[in-house]
Structure 1
Amino acid sequence: MPITYARDRRIGRDEFIDLLSRSTLGERRPIDDPACIDAMLANANLLITAWDGDRLVGVARSVTDFAYCCYLSDLAVDAGMQRAGIGRELIRLTQAALGPKAKLILLSAPKAVDYYPRVGFTRHENAYIIAATESLR
Structure 2
Amino acid sequence: MEIAYSFDRIPTAQQIIELYNAAGLPRPTHDEKRIQQMYENSNLVVTAWVGEQLVGVSRCITDWVWSCYLADLAVSPDHKTTGIGKRLIELTKEKVGEQTMILLLSVPTAMEYYPKVGFSKENRSFIIHREK
What corresponds to 2:27 in structure 1?
A: 29
Contact 1:13 1:38 (8 Å CA) reproduced: yes
Q: Which runs of 5+ in 2 are unaligned?
A: none
What corresponds to 1:112 in structure 2?
A: 110
What corresponds to 1:69 in structure 2?
A: 67
Match of 2:85 among 84, 87, 110: 87
Match of 1:96 among 94, 97, 100: 94
Letter of the aligned partner of 2:74 in structure 1?
Answer: A
> Over aligned residues, Cα RMSD in angstroms?
1.2
TM-score, normalized by length of structure 1? 0.93
Give me the whole-angstrom Cα distance separating, in 2, the residues matched to 1:8 and 1:102.
21
Structure 1 segment 5-84 matched on structure 2, within 5 A? 5-25=5-25, 28-84=26-82
The alignment partner of 1:96 has SS state of helix
Q: Which runs of 5+ in 1 are unaligned?
A: none
Q: Post-superposition shift, 1:6?
A: 0.3
Q: Post-superposition shift, 1:23?
A: 0.4
Q: Post-superposition shift, 1:99?
A: 2.8
Letter of the aligned partner of 1:124 in structure 2?
Answer: E
TM-score, normalized by length of structure 2? 0.96
Q: Post-superposition shift, 1:123?
A: 0.2
Once superposed, which parts of structure 1, at least 4 consecutive aligned residues long, lie more than 6 Å away? none
Contact 1:70 1:105 (8 Å CA) reproduced: yes
The alignment partner of 2:35 has SS state of helix
The Cα offsets for residues 80-132 of structure 1, whole Å up to 9 and x where unpaired, read as: 11011000000000000013210000011111100000111000101111112
Corresponding residue pairs, total? 132
